[in-house]
Structure 1
Amino acid sequence: MERAAVIYFVRHAKAGERRLWEGDDVDRPLSKTGWKQSTAVARRLAKKDVAALYASPYIRCMQTLEPLGDLTGLKVQADRRLFEGEPFEPVLDLLNEVEDGAVLCSHGDIIPAVITALVRRGMEVETPPDWSKASVWVLRRKGSRITKGKVWPAPKLAAKSTKK
């Protein structure tokens, strides 16, 4: 069966607060909520024909895709082009290089810049934009062109019980 010409572009799940983190920001991990979000994203994506996993080398991006790697048996591959604070143009190249069914995980500055560039190049956006943590952009391509994009909002997590 041929893979659908789709790429999934995930914003990393919630991490601990930047202002409270004392180490290098590259090493800031997911929070408990972030792990729950990444597990929910993994369950949804595992139902798709996932071919490969690529993430910014930041720990929170790698961790966001780990549950999906566990479910699919795929290894999360670090790609510096997905790094926070970097130019978005190399990510456009990466989108052309990856196989159909690839899942990419990056940051809140990169994803909007890439989506905006794709819109300038003719991509039709089918849903209102959503840049929240653990949101997933579903990008459809024909040949080397991304033609349509829609976003799955971040997973809704069960509220904490107030019972004692």
Structure 2
Amino acid sequence: MFVLVRHAHAGNKALWHGPDADRPLSIVGRRQAAARGLTVEDHCLLAPGAPVDRLFAALCAPDIDGTLWCAHGEVLDDLAATAPTHRSARVPPTTKTAKGGAWIIDPAAPPPFTFRYIAPDPTS
């Protein structure tokens, strides 16, 4: 089982003049990552515009069990929209992945495995 989550606190997109992939975390985002002792590794398949079918295939690899992947909302929305075309996945009807929203996925579950959406906590 693993988690896909939409990032919540990155730097202000309107004020950032470089490539979006280089936009840093906000002060809140850096504080959240440090408080949890997390390291961040970039993966090209999590970038907007990356091939969704390749991301879906990567997510079905057995070695990602127990990981958390963080991506942009449009990447997660594209993945959720594409998943039903794969015979091994069921996705609940969710139109958009909210900031801080997450998808719980267990590809080891009996087919068809399900993407389960968890909405963000509005108080945090």
TM range (shorter): 0.7 to 0.9
- Counterpart for residue 148 of structure 1: 114
**TM-aligned CA deviation for residue 155 of structure 1:** 2.7
- How many residues align? The count is 122
1:27 deviates by 2.2
Tell me by how many angstroms 1:67 deviates: 4.9
1:100 paired with 2:100, answer: no
Rounded to whole Å, the distance in 2 between the matches of 1:116 and 1:128 is 9
Q: Which structure's relative contact order is higher, taking Cα pairs within 8 Å and 6+ residues apart?
A: 2
Tell me which moved more, 23-32 or 133-142: 23-32
Letter in 2 for 1:152: I
User: Unaligned stretches of 5+ in structure 1?
Assistant: 1-5, 40-62, 159-164
Stretches of structure 2 that go unaligned for 5 or more consecutive residues are none
Cα distance in 2 for residues equivalent to 1:33 and 1:155: 16
Query: Who wins on radius of gyration, i.e. which is larger?
Result: 1
Asked if structure 1 preserves the Cα contact closer than 8 Å seen for 2:106 and 2:113, the reply is: yes
1:43-54 equivalences under 5 Å are none
How much is the aligned-residue C-alpha RMSD, in angstroms?
Answer: 2.8
- Compare 141-150 and 116-125 and name the one that shifted more: 141-150
Helix, strand or coil for the counterpart of 2:107?
strand
For 1:112-151, list aligned pairs within 5 A: 112-122=77-87, 123-126=89-92, 128-142=94-108, 147-151=113-117
Q: Deviations over 1:87-116 (max 9, x none)?
A: 212211210224211211111221111112
1:19 equivalent to 2:10? Answer no
State the percentage of identical aligned residues.
25
Higher mean C-alpha displacement, 25-34 vs 10-19: 25-34
Q: Which has the higher strand share?
A: 1
- Contact 1:130 1:151 (C-alpha < 8 Å) held by counterparts: no
Give me the TM-score of the superposition, normalised by structure 1. 0.60
